Amino acid sequence: MELAVSRVHLGARVLYVVIMRDITDRRRAEERLRQAASVFENTTEGIIITEPDGVILSVNPAFTSITGYSTEEALGQTPRLLQSGRQDKAFYRRMWESLLNEGHWQGEIWNRRKSGEVYPQWLNITAIRDAQGRVINYVGITWDISELKASERMKDEFISTVSHELRTPLTSIRGSLGLVMGGVAGEIPDRARNMVQIAHDNCQRLVRLINDILDFQKIEAGKMSFSVEPLDLVGLVQAAITENQAYADQMGVRLAIDAPVGYAWVVGDRDRLMQVMANLLSNAVKFSPEGEAVTVSVERRDSAVRVTVADRGPGVPEAFRRNLFRKFAQADASDSRQRGGTGLGLHICKLIVEHLDGDIGYTAQHGTGSSFYFELPELRRGERPPGDGEPAAADRLVRDAG
């Protein structure tokens, strides 16, 4: 309760007027403000509040200790004060697009402290709007993620060291076992041959696994080298089928191609795309019932070329589809024992295809088999290098007709 007393003179008399007001609401509001101010002051996340044009209105103590700039130095500046030069213009354009369209942006960003040190942080910006929907402030909340990044880097380095150390001796064991089986060390008895065969197959599997781990580590770290060139996807698919025929034969599955387009030019890395095809084909074959066919089709869709690998196997359960392209994901935990594999193949395919500005996905109904596709932007004729595998006139006619 708030009391206000005033003295009023009425001629010779003096009146005291007492006004009583219930201020519970105001107290609550003040309390809430105090709590908010306390969070602002004491949290370990840096907080920065700006005008709509980016001019800094307020920063909290955590901001000053993370960046090294005092409140006085920060006020009136814009967050450009912290720019490290590590992000390009396109990065900031995307950030502003997201802020203007969705009122929100979050992501990793490299900033520069007052000391000059460049550090990674996680930044979360939200636009604050008034009742009319106009932006009145932006609030940015940041975390210093240097330590997190350092431990991630250590983990990555550890994995690649271990993989390299394992791969070299394993490759040599596999080579020796291959030679022994080939009879280089003399004739071997049947029972021994069987065991050597098992050892050789398992070595082969381990080498594949280690290569996969190295591959995705490299792609994720942006260190895998891609040598891109214009190439004809129809030709590549044919080559991939030939290369994977032996595995299909072994599993009693037929491989068929359906490519009415004759040729389809894209920009890609031949070896990496063969790797994508090898995984899609080996998955399709390994899940196909014996005697069934796996069909690979190549078709044009708008300005892209789509390769689809379809099988007549059990399909992918609905609930698992969104995990298909994650690393180490397998629909059935017993897959790795029953059918081999580690669940890395599709993850690597996705990294490769996306690196080439393409798209990869799954399109089939449960129970009617699986159908995986990947798509790459098609190269128009003018963009292909003259004389470098320019398709024959007959192919051109097929294409122009289609």
Ligand X SMILES: Nc1ncnc2c1ncn2[C@@H]1O[C@H](COP(=O)(O)OP(=O)(O)OP(=O)(O)O)[C@@H](O)[C@H]1O
Q: Which residues bind Mg ion (CB under 5 A)?
A: 279, 283, 341, 345
3 state DSSP class of 33: helix
Among 120, 341, 358, 391, binds ligand X (CB under 6 A): 341
Largest alpha-carbon pair distance within the chain?
134
The minimum distance between CB 27 and ligand X, in angstroms, equals 60
The minimum distance between CB 348 and Mg ion, in angstroms, equals 9
**184: its two tokens:** 């280089």
Among 232, 311, 375, 378, binds ligand X (CB under 6 A): 311
Rg (C-alpha) for the chain, rounded Å, is: 32
Identity of the residue, 120 or 345, whose beta carbon is nearer to ligand X in the bound complex: 345
Identity of the residue, 272 or 347, whose beta carbon is nearer to ligand X in the bound complex: 347
Mark 211-230 with x for binding to ligand X (rule: CB under 6 A) and - for no binding: -x------------------
Give residues with Cβ within 8 angstroms of 370, minimum separation 6: 283, 284, 287, 310, 311, 313, 315, 316, 362, 364
The minimum distance between CB 374 and ligand X, in angstroms, equals 13
Could you tell me which of 306, 304, 307, 305 has the C-alpha nearest to residue 295?
307
Could you tell me which of 389, 364, 394 has the C-alpha nearest to residue 379?
389
What is the length of the chain? Answer: 402
Mark 26-65 with x for binding to ligand X (rule: CB under 6 A) and - for no binding: ----------------------------------------
Q: Select the span of 226-234, 243-251, 327-335, 352-360 touching ligand X (CB under 6 A).
A: 327-335
**63: its two tokens:** 């901001």
Which ranges in 288-391 belong to alpha helices (H)? 335-338, 345-355
Identity of the residue, 125 or 281, whose beta carbon is nearer to ligand X in the bound complex: 281
Answer with the entry of Mg ion, ligand X, none that 360 interacts with (C-beta below 5 to 8 A by kind).
none
Does position 308 interact with ligand X (CB under 6 A)? The reply is: no
Does position 346 interact with ligand X (CB under 6 A)? The reply is: yes
* C-alpha angle 119-125-129 in degrees, rounded to nearest 5: 160
Place of tokens 């594949």: 208
Site residues, ligand X (CB under 6 A): 212, 279, 283-284, 287, 311, 313-314, 316, 324, 329-332, 335, 341-347, 370
